[in-house]
Structure 1
């Protein structure tokens, strides 16, 4: 088990290799496990914590949306689920021509679900969708350095950037899924977002929002016919309800076993893998209020005992972090921990000209999205109360929570997780710059440093720059860093499934026993 500090000393590559050996096996379910016996052709039912906001690719930066639709759309580049290394999918190879030019050679003979050919026009269309401000894609800030996508031939594209963009392949692998241009143009974005067409292993059947998404195997899939013929992602927001559904045999798989209920599972029913996802408390200086003052933000860091939260609320399932990156991130740098010092917290609040007993803050949290998320929020409120700070905890449905963050409508603080992230840019640029949709913090000199570092092709200089930024963010108390998540999956006896380090649930990789 990934107990506290259990993987602190492991390097990125070592952990990724070891994760290949992580238990993805499963033992006898204590129910009838209807429809999932050995060799069963019945539907695979996955209990999922929240619904997709849209089924259109390249629009919503959201793990829940991305996980579901990656079964419908293919990427052109992906990561290996065990090592994290880049692997070709719809792109056969890629080349960095110079600091502002990249070329990609694409796979031939691939068909979309409607019979249309996959080609370079589809790649250009999918990237152009992100870049077109009128589409309102939340990926746009991540792709802002793209100047132009040029079709060189039916199966070759060139991507030109306005500034050096050394992490372009990272962006492609994490973000880009390929849509069928003709279909989207014919039916319109609204219908394409409800009834998607991709090149993926599964085709769309039915979407009942906040209830279920049903898919069926693409028998003509270019990588071979999927082993699982039907799949249903059933939306079950509450931890306890997902667990109950699994125990009764209603579902075959779910992520984030409640950490206070692990003992109720046979150890062989649990799949566990280290995650580079981090959980944190955002201290927003983008909304009006006392947290615009760095001393108040620093005081909150001193007033929260994250080690106690990790042990008491998460039963040690996680690894403490002190900065904005997980210890599995290739650009992780050690940062100074504030430590728990309530007296110092009170002193700083007074130095900011505020009476701690008159300080009242709002903390937004989802419920059921991250391990014990709303419980953690309530525990944080209790800790802050000890130094006199009153905290109103606002529990949100997951989609509403994200919307409030995107629109800068949260309270002073909010709970969020981020990842999986394997390099610094994917976290730092997206959470600490003014226009990024999930950012909670902006400071002009830090954003300038971020943008300069992003453009460095020299890896050593790049890591040095990100190390400096990590410490600056800690000094400015942009967050209260909490922990690196430990991913716990419940897996049915009849399902072959190995958890991935990037948290994807690609049904094509699963099969019945």
Structure 2
């Protein structure tokens, strides 16, 4: 695989994360068609444009819809509030909107709402933040009541996927209460509407019986969702055991394992969109004598780390080893990537072949997941690589990383758009964080993110990964 990302700087530990969830099979309020759930992270603002907490994102997808949607089972990109979309030219995206959709207050959804929302979030004076990039939007134009045209700053193959992260709000929703509007008038088009709430602590959602049944989300199967914010996992567990809750998630793996045998409880591990990785200084930015410039050293490290063991010990069910720097279901992620089995003996042999029979000393940097970093340190030590951990906050680590001063880095990244083009170019596109500096590889990634030809993109991304 000449000049491939895997040859240049294979991320030695590529694991996807999992969220352990527990549900009661009894449903204490089943007769009332009600599910009682708990979330851990406190909510300051129900508006995902002003609060990026995971709890907000989860609730938002029940209350609001976006123009496009990623099927959680297949990762396929499909229209949602849009009925279809096309690219009349390389910098124009045209969307035909779904007709007959209404907001929870009964008002009709149309092009004006799309224009209002996108103009609001792209106006820097409003302070709106988005998970996905919004800088690609140059302007939004109304063609007719159910057609909008987005002018892009430059060709952008990710545009339709970025739109999955932009919930659409009714026109002038911010006029009276500004950024706090969704804590007062949380009006959307989604399968659930807010019936009542105690801001930051409790939310009751009722099924939206007017929701369009032919959409990819489908209609809600449960009439009422009662959601409470309970930060302490132990309190959540106590409540589900006593019958006060029906569903909890992000349960620590060890506690979830202990509860798997309880009668009346279902324990499941579900994959999340977070990837754990390691970056090696393949370009020698940390110095011309960097051992990571040697392909054999990079391969040795990849064989030295027991990735499946780390999944089993730290993450639990639902997580998986990823053989490329992407999620296996993401668009553009190769299914035939080179694999590196856990083989310490092979790692030692490769180090010896590379000229390091006794290993070498190195710095291992990280800013989160200390047990993971320490496990990696131990695995490296077993094959002769003596790694000194530099555990710091992300901001100072980024400064040194981007300056090429950190040769080996552990980190993690999340992605909600199910496309390799969302984050891989950040690591291999000649950016500050790129420790590979391969112009040919970067060129493939740039080209892939500029063409809307699906098969051409797939081929370019496969070549890179």
- Structure 1 spans left out of the alignment, 5+ residues: 1-23, 367-373, 395-400, 471-513
How far is 1:306 from its partner? Answer: 1.5
| In structure 2, C-alpha distance between the alignment counterparts of 1:196 and 1:443, rounded to whole Å | 49
| In structure 2, C-alpha distance between the alignment counterparts of 1:70 and 1:143, rounded to whole Å | 19
2:142 equivalent to 1:186: no
Q: 1:461 to 1:81 in 2, by over 3 A?
A: closer
Task: Tell whether the 8 Å contact from 2:47 to 2:56 is kept in structure 1 after alignment.
Answer: no
Q: Which residue of 2 aligns with 1:122?
A: 113
Task: Tell whether the 8 Å contact from 2:22 to 2:251 is kept in structure 1 after alignment.
Answer: no
Q: More deviation in 385-394 or 67-76?
A: 385-394
Q: 1:88 to 1:361 in 2, by over 3 A?
A: closer
Q: Select the structure of larger CA radius of gyration.
A: 2
| In structure 1, C-alpha distance between the alignment counterparts of 2:417 and 2:287, rounded to whole Å | 27
TM-score (norm 2): 0.70
Q: Which residue of 1 aligns with 2:337?
A: 335
SS of equivalent residue, structure 2 residue 459: helix
SS of equivalent residue, structure 1 residue 182: coil
Task: Tell whether the 8 Å contact from 1:300 to 1:345 is kept in structure 2 after alignment.
Answer: no
Task: Tell whether the 8 Å contact from 1:363 to 1:415 is kept in structure 2 after alignment.
Answer: yes
* Root mean square deviation of aligned Cα: 4.5
How far is 1:319 from its partner? Answer: 2.7
Q: 1:28 to 1:153 in 2, by over 3 A?
A: closer
How far is 1:28 from its partner? Answer: 3.9
SS of equivalent residue, structure 1 residue 468: helix
Q: 1:147 to 1:214 in 2, by over 3 A?
A: same
1:423 to 397, 419, 434: 419
2:30 equivalent to 1:38: yes
- Structure 2 spans left out of the alignment, 5+ residues: 1-20, 214-218
Q: 1:434 to 1:204 in 2, by over 3 A?
A: farther
SS of equivalent residue, structure 1 residue 197: coil
Task: Tell whether the 8 Å contact from 2:269 to 2:316 is kept in structure 1 after alignment.
Answer: no
1:388 to 380, 383, 386: 386
2:311 equivalent to 1:310: yes
| In structure 2, C-alpha distance between the alignment counterparts of 1:317 and 1:126, rounded to whole Å | 35
2:91 equivalent to 1:100: yes
Query: Which whole-Å deviations, capped at 9, do the CAs of 1:161-218 have from their partners, x for residues lacking one?
Result: 343334433222x3121123412132222x2364463313222744554xx3413327
Q: 1:69 to 1:26 in 2, by over 3 A?
A: closer
| In structure 2, C-alpha distance between the alignment counterparts of 1:59 and 1:410, rounded to whole Å | 30
| In structure 1, C-alpha distance between the alignment counterparts of 2:287 and 2:127, rounded to whole Å | 29
Alignment of 1:172-321 (within 5 A): 172=163, 174-189=164-179, 191-192=180-181, 194-195=183-184, 197-199=186-188, 200=190, 201-203=192-194, 205-206=196-197, 209=200, 212-217=201-206, 221-223=210-212, 227-236=222-231, 238=233, 242-260=236-254, 261-262=256-257, 264-266=259-261, 269-270=265-266, 272=268, 275=271, 277-283=273-279, 295=292, 298=298, 301=302, 303-314=304-315, 318-321=319-322
Q: 1:234 to 1:107 in 2, by over 3 A?
A: same
2:454 to 454, 459, 465: 459
Query: Which whole-Å deviations, capped at 9, do the CAs of 1:464-490 have from their partners, x for residues lacking one?
Result: 2112322xxxxxxxxxxxxxxxxxxxx
Query: Which whole-Å deviations, capped at 9, do the CAs of 1:66-118 have from their partners, x for residues lacking one?
Result: 21222232222324454444454322333343443332222445444566543
| In structure 2, C-alpha distance between the alignment counterparts of 1:100 and 1:326, rounded to whole Å | 28
2:360 equivalent to 1:365: no
SS of equivalent residue, structure 1 residue 149: strand
Q: 1:236 to 1:75 in 2, by over 3 A?
A: same
2:81 to 86, 90, 102: 90
TM-score (norm 1): 0.64
How far is 1:432 from its partner? Answer: 5.3
| In structure 2, C-alpha distance between the alignment counterparts of 1:280 and 1:429, rounded to whole Å | 16
